[in-house]
Amino acid sequence: MNAHGTAIKYGDHIDTDVIIPARHLATQNHKELASHCMEDIDKSFVSRVKPGDIMVAGVNFGCGSSREHAPIAIKASGISCVIAKSFARIFYRNAINIGLAILESDKASENIAEGDEVDIDFDTGVITNVTKNETYQAVPFPDFIKDMIATGGLMASITGGAK
Amino acid sequence: MGMTMTQKILAAHAGLKSVTAGQLIKAKLDLVLGNDITAPVAINEFDKAGFDKVACGARITLVMDHFTPNRDIKAAENCKKCRSFAKRFDLEHFYDVGEMGIEHALIPEKGLIAPGEAAIGADSHTCTYGALGAFSTGVGSTDMAAAMATGETWFKVPSAIKVNLTGKKGKWVSGKDVILHLIGMIGVDGALYQSLEFSGEGLSDLTMSDRLTISNMAIEAGAKNGIFAVDDITHKYMEGRCDRSWKAFDADSDAEYARVINLDLSKIPCTVAWPHLPEKTHPATEGSDIEIDQVVIGSCTNGNIEDMAAAAEILKGRHIKKGLRGIIIPATPKIYMECIERGYTRIFVEAGCIVSTPTCGPCLGGHMGILCAGEKAVSTTNRNFVGRMGHVQSEIYLASPAVAAASAITGHISHPKEVMGE
């Protein structure tokens, strides 16, 4: 499993209220959620994000509410992986449960700049910054999470993969 | 090696003798909670997976509290989805408008959670029930869907920060000041993935209302849960509330903690968190230059009767500053009635405030008090993130009910003594 895309960079403590503001939570439509993703801190995100792009942020990404609409909005906007120094724990669970790839790496978070081309190998946890010709090692997913993703997320894993 | 309170509860619910930090476990749940925003997403997942029954054992509880009374057609559709689901599976604990209160005030009030029990809720403030010595934590909708089907969920056993409380709170200081002060000390990710475990002789100075507020905002320090040792105050609170037998879990004397924080309650000032993070704390006395447009007193953090009493004491016989909007939201129908019976409602209305039916409403910028660009609010809610209560250029200052009520009268951030004297 790999990802490749252009980095879109944010800072520390990106909370779920800015990822998807509560005023849009009455919908569960993925496309509609994606159309408002990040709008309160970055109005241009929706127009510049391309399928496969990689979101890079600092510490405590996804802090705040438990709204699963947040990882859903990011995933539906085309982001293939979020790299951060750390994630808030509910966001971390939600991302895995809905199949949004996430990796923790201090180095990648610090060295990847907006617009850098990034390659990710999820099996090894190696993040390659193609633009800067650097690599960063993230901890790859543990086996139980790989299994969950392989069977199609949490719901598929408890129904035995039949979805 | 000894275990923390949280670890003991998790071990008991996983059917294990002991667990250690970092261990992955499957635990049985006593309560699975969702609201009108998160439950519809969970119901979609539940249906998509093809389940035709819900797990027995776990009390599945749905509370229609966020965008209710329905603020728009989509909100009405979401509640309808929950209502049909509750009917389809004959759920006993479905709370619709009229019976619903803000979930984290309603659930302890109704005895739906007890010490030693384990709960998850598709709402980040589910950590509130740690006040009773229960393990409870917020999850997402897919976790909720899986738990409705299986009655269990997976956890990574957390390490813990022990908060050793000593001393007695000063006049006008409440649980809200304690938790804001603590978040100011350790930061909004200071307890990331960890438990906050509160114990020590200072416990006796914290009412259940104080504890509910403190546990409620554990998530604002990134914590998985915030739990209190069970004592006489807990036993008294539980009296007549629930007929299930429950068990208190104490931390082992040799439990290992990642960190120990000593907190002297007598040193904590009335505290306010400046925008846009709960860690940006200042003593309330530093806010006299900050003119405000709105005050909100309520939410799952501060909508209890004790919070209403603190506001009423200050607002009694006074009027809020002309031009300022005062919005008071008792958290449950029972608290709402008690406000009427104790005369608080009259005090609030005569002071120029409105008193709303229970709803999360303005706390998350849903309805009932949205701010426009440039406006500032003092609010007893839990988050002051960018755009949380409305426009991205509005500002939220988080405070206790006493500070909020005093600020409503003066029109700027005020320590209660500014209104009430020393």
pLDDT in tens, B4-51: 999 999 999 999 999 999 898 999 999 999 999 999 999 999 999 999
Domain contains A121: yes
pLDDT in tens, B103-119: 999 999 999 999 999 99
Torsion of CA A163, A68, B60, B20, to 10 degrees: 90
Mean pLDDT of the A115-144 span? 93
pLDDT at residue A162 in the model: 41
Mean pLDDT of the A106-129 span? 96
pLDDT at B325 over 90: yes
pLDDT at residue A153 in the model: 73
For residue A99, the enclosing domain spans 2-158
Contact A27 B74 (CB under 8 A): yes
- What is the tally of structural domains in chain A? 1
Domain contains A96: yes
Q: Pick the range with the lowest mean pLDDT from A22-36, A142-156, B362-376.
A: A142-156
pLDDT in tens, B337-378: 999 999 999 999 999 999 999 999 999 999 999 999 999 999
Question: Which is more confident, A122 or B30?
Answer: B30
Q: Of B323, B260, B255, B276, nearest to B295 (Cα)?
A: B323
Residue B291 is given by DSSP the state B
Domain contains A163: no
Torsion of CA A109, B388, A40, A127, to 10 degrees: 20
pLDDT at residue A141 in the model: 80
**CB-side exposure of B321: number of CA atoms within 13 Å?**
19
Please report, rounded to a whole number, the percentage of residues in chain B having pLDDT higher than 90: 98
Contact B143 A159 (CB under 8 A): no
In the chain, the amino acid numbered B334 is K
B146 contacts in chain A (CB < 8 Å):
154-155, 158
Contact A64 B49 (CB under 8 A): no
Q: Pick the range with the lowest mean pLDDT from A14-18, A137-141, B133-137, B209-213.
A: A137-141
Mean pLDDT of the B190-207 span? 97
Mean pLDDT of the B180-207 span? 97
pLDDT at A161 over 60: no
pLDDT at A1 over 80: no
User: Between B49, B224, B387, which is nearest A89 by CB?
Assistant: B224
DSSP codes, B36-92: TTHHHHHHHHHHHTT--SPPSSSEEEEE--SSTTT-SHHHHHHHHHHHHHHHHTT-S
pLDDT at residue A152 in the model: 64
Q: Judge residue A125's burial from the number of C-beta atoms within 10 Å of its C-beta, 0-12 exposed, 13-18 middle, 19 or more buried.
A: middle
B89 part of contact set with chain A, CB < 8 Å: no
A144 contacts in chain B (CB < 8 Å):
24
In the numeric block, the tokens 């408890």 are attached to: A158
SS3 B389: coil
CATH label of the domain that carries residue A51? 3.20.19.10
Complex ipTM: 0.90
Domain contains A147: yes
Domains of chain B: 5-265 (3.30.499.10), 271-420 (3.30.499.10)
pLDDT at residue B207 in the model: 98
